Amino acid sequence: MKPEIAKLGYIALVSADLEKSLVFFKDVIGLEETTVIDGVHYLRAWGDFQHHTLSIEQGDRGYVRHIGWRTKRKEDVQKFKELLQQQGVPVEAIAPWTTPGIGEAIRFKVPSEHTFELYYDVERPSVDEHRRSVLKNQTYKSWAKGVSPRRLDHVNLHTSANSKKAYEFMQNVLGFNMRELLKGDNGDILAGWMSVTPLVHDVALVSRQKEETPTPARLHHLSYWVDDSQDILRAADILREHGFDFVGPGKHAISQALYLYVCDPGSGARVELFTGSYLIFEPDWEPVEWSESERAFGNTYWGDSISKKELVKTTIEAM
């Protein structure tokens, strides 16, 4: 049986101004802090179950250390290690619980030059009584503070490395399914929306081979899910009350999701607040193909156009 990835796990973020990032993610976005160990803050949304979906620490600049993915089975971690080594990919073994809440893990670079981590064992820490939901199937009380997203949804990655190899690797080695894609006039894939779950995308990968970027691996945004369109409008009010510029609300044609984008002032990382979209249950799903001339429409079906805002053009380094 081939090893499989189950879901997106967490993003390890480094901030140039940790204090600003913590105010942003905890008070404005409304994430809950699980713990702080050796200067690293571990956060999750009120509906996230594992130890954390975001870690933040102080650094000399804003960047992403790695992106964590949980496998479907414990033995898949070792199976992926063997598979990657067969492909000639250097693999770093991470001892269990080196990262709080994360058991045995492996780290490696994908052809886009982003560092991925795979693991299975996780801790689900208890929640203090005053923060705990009365619902047995929910971690924290909802709406306790800030925007209050329910869960981590996806990441959007950019690369100026060999994107053809990256798309093939993501699908053939890691097992991602291509759900929607944007093709250039020359037939090359310019962007791919891929998932291992019924979501339209757990990860989007955008090719920037024709552009000059400071580093080949970049993060365009990380995304948290809110339950409905009213939550997006409420988020806009909260962000404006705190003096933040943002892009949206709007709707993507690709994915059919409602969006709102805002940047963390500490790390420079962009956060997308995301809802709507559709789920894919068809086992014979054929990827939906968009042409280069349809790119702007694919990005913005209606609403505040992301193609016209400088806020969504910038990216931060991903190791």
In tens, the pLDDT along 238-248 reads 999 999 999 99
The model's pLDDT over 114-165, given as tens digits with 9 standing for 90+, comes to 999 999 999 998 898 999 999 999 999 988 899 999 999 999 999 998 888 9
For 189, how many CA atoms within 13 A lie in the half-sphere containing its CB? 23
CATH 3.60.15.10 corresponds to the domain 5-119: no
Cα of 18 vs its chain's centroid, Å = 20
pLDDT tens string 207-237: 987 777 788 899 999 999 999 999 999 999 9
CB atoms within 10 A of CB 278: 12
User: Are 5-119 and 151-318 in the same CATH fold?
Assistant: yes
> Which superfamily, per CATH, for 151-318?
2,3-Dihydroxybiphenyl 1,2-Dioxygenase, domain 1 (3.10.180.10)
The tens digit of pLDDT for each residue in 265-316 reads: 999 999 999 999 999 999 999 999 999 999 999 999 999 876 656 555 678 8
Residues near 308 by Cβ (< 8 Å), separated by ≥ 6?
A: none
Domain ranges (residues) in the chain: 5-119, 151-318
- Specify the pTM: 0.95
